[in-house]
Structure 1
Amino acid sequence: MECLSKLKNNNFLVLGRAGMDLYADPPGTEITEAANFYAALGGSSANIAVALTRYGVKASMISVVSDDAVGRYVVAQMEKYGIGHDYVRTTGGEARTSLAVVETRLENCQAVLYRNGAADFELCEADVEGIPYGDYAALVVTGTALAVEPNRSAVFKAVNLAKAAGTPIIIDLDYRPYSWESAETAVRIYTEIAALCDIIVGNDVEFGVMAGDINAGKALAKELAQTSASIVVYKMGPEGSVTFTAEEEQEMGVFKVQALKPTGAGDAFMGGFLSSLAKGLDLRTSVMRGSAAAAIVVTRVACSSAMPTNEELDAFIESRNGIPA
């Protein structure tokens, strides 16, 4: 797979949402009862960038934040984690950086997202021009960034510029129905972007939405690996995952843990999976390490700050005797 050799450049561009998360504290507290909150960098794309840097992989963000204290908090957190932010624009006016208020509990976990007038949705084509895409290992995009304009056109512009520079395209489908005008629009846009991607990662519901039938998602994932993408990872929650390439399909289970919360697993998987591919590890081992990272994150408070280090990931895998059935 030609795209895997480019990943060894070890320097990823991540396009999408970066925001602030507020977690009701201590863990188990409902938002309505909370007197204290724990703040952390949030947003699916920012979480993926954090996860990559935890494993010694370079990552830079392409995004927009508001010109206020919350926007400055997000940029300061990027600096803390070593995430490049040369392509993060600050905007004024009524736009606001995305904010999520979340509970750390497994049952009936409430997550309230404030996305009206979201600053990252203002990313436009001018923001993605002039970037030296050829210098990067890959461009990673999340489906959230495709939901509205001008963000949608900016994503397609960035993807086409990256492809022209020979840089692999990776997408986390990350479908959030409340952000889209209709399911029909989502199907159309996801179908268009998937045809341009080298690696596609999503869960059974997301592939089901793309296929127009929840029961047809797995077949679609397999078809994409045969026709356009080099690697397609079809995740099934507690049932594990199936990874498709043109030559084979690999099944893998999950690591059983006592979870604190359901959030952050997908972003952790992306970080563990992509960083492992970047280090030249084989596909099965890379999926396994992504799964291990996901298992660790759901046992901890928050998402970005919960991402494990290389040492923590190695120790966890060793304690579980490696690859899950």
Structure 2
Amino acid sequence: MTVAAIVYDLVAIGRVGVDLYPLQHGVTLDEVRTFEKFLGGSAANVTVAAARHGRRAALISATADDAFGRFVHRELLQLGVDDVYVQTVTGGPPTPVTFCEIFPPDYFPRWFYRYPTAPDLLITPDSLPLQAIREARVYWSSLTGLSQEPSRAAHLAALEERARAPFTVLDLDYQEAFWRDRVGAAEDPRDDARTQAREALRQATVAVGNLDECTVVTGETDPERAARALLASGLELAVVTQDGRGVLAMTPTEQVRVYAFPVTVVNGLGGGDAFGGALVHGLLAGWDLERTLHFAAVAGALVVGRLACSTAMPTTAEVQAMLADVEVADGAM
């Protein structure tokens, strides 16, 4: 692919597609009457979240040459993300769609229609924009991209290009459905995911995941032990999110914990991606770890109080306003 002349604040690689979310909540899919269509996919959502904070972001991914693929490209551009590295795959699988059910506050099952594969898993090493990856201030990849070839080889090649450059992030986004059909019936898909994650962590400097994901990778069920196990792979920063119980972040010399911000949950699926984009913003701004985590946690809280993921990503002003409200409330107690 042609080398880049632009130095991006964030380059992310991975999932993109279309989310079809129900407008009737508290019912199963067979009872839903209407849906609304949104840009989806974890990597896409993280780039949108960062763009909402004024960061120049680009996505490395792929769609099919179909109506949903055209929608993805249009939405990325409208939401401030450069789509120049989102390839169009012809003659292959369609642009994937994802359905969910919404049972607030804590049950949001998803169905990923991306089998036997999806265009974003057909990215090859020779299609990578290596200059853009190498020069990006933050490079973001996820465990999902390691679930099958040729995407696995592409992800590892991109990480080798970074060679532990600062802010080389591995999102421990473990979706068991993407791994289950790649191993034998007698095998545990988590074993393959753990092996691939450990290979990728050799080139990363930051890891982010919820506690369940960190447990898959490290085998540790305690947040502190999981963070220490991640750091032992050579990372500079490990972040363990715990949904309503807050966030733990650890460096070789520092440990910070922030508590969850109260919110009425509408759809819990986009909070982690909002957290990720806000984390990128805080790291690039040079904030201390506590301020960065507070900012990212509020961004995540705002999104889980909304229906969508991509279009729900908050602006910096919205996050700051909520932080100010929380400070006022704390001061009044």
Separation in 1, partners of 2:128, 2:327: 44
Which residue identity is paired with 1:295?
A
Deviation at 1:68, TM superposition (A): 0.6
Separation in 2, partners of 1:61, 1:34: 32
Quick check: 1:280 aligned with 2:286?
Answer: yes
Quick check: 1:251 aligned with 2:257?
Answer: yes
The one of 301, 308, 322 aligned to 1:316: 322
Deviation at 1:261, TM superposition (A): 1.9
- 1:1-50 per-residue CA deviation (whole Å, 9 max, x = no partner) reads xxxxxxxx761101001110011114555422222211110000000011
Separation in 1, partners of 2:92, 2:233: 43
Percent sequence identity is 29
Where do 1:1-325 residues align within 5 Å?
11-28=9-26, 30-106=28-104, 108-116=107-115, 117-163=117-163, 166=165, 168-180=167-179, 181=183, 182-215=189-222, 218-321=224-327
Instruction: Give the alignment's Cα RMSD to 1 decimal.
Output: 2.0
Which residue identity is paired with 1:41?
L
Kept in 2: contact 1:142–1:171 (CA 8 A): yes
Helix, strand or coil at the partner of 2:163:
helix
Separation in 2, partners of 1:10, 1:272: 16
The count of aligned residue pairs is 314
Deviation at 1:299, TM superposition (A): 0.6
Kept in 1: contact 2:98–2:111 (CA 8 A): yes
Deviation at 1:322, TM superposition (A): 7.9
Kept in 2: contact 1:23–1:37 (CA 8 A): yes
Change (3 A) 1:158 1:322: farther
- 1:274-319 per-residue CA deviation (whole Å, 9 max, x = no partner) reads 1111122211111111100111101101100111111111111111
Kept in 2: contact 1:264–1:298 (CA 8 A): yes
Deviation at 1:224, TM superposition (A): 3.0
Separation in 2, partners of 1:16, 1:252: 28
Which residue identity is paired with 1:294?
G
TM-score computed with the length of structure 2 as normaliser: 0.88
Separation in 1, partners of 2:220, 2:235: 21
Give the stretch that moved more between structures: 246-255 or 313-322: 313-322
Helix, strand or coil at the partner of 1:258:
coil
Give the stretch that moved more between structures: 151-160 or 191-200: 191-200
Structure 2: runs of 5 or more not aligned: 1-6, 184-188
- 1:96-140 per-residue CA deviation (whole Å, 9 max, x = no partner) reads 212111234315433221110211110111111543334310210
Separation in 2, partners of 1:323, 1:244: 28
Deviation at 1:220, TM superposition (A): 3.6
Separation in 1, partners of 2:240, 2:109: 26
TM-score computed with the length of structure 1 as normaliser: 0.91
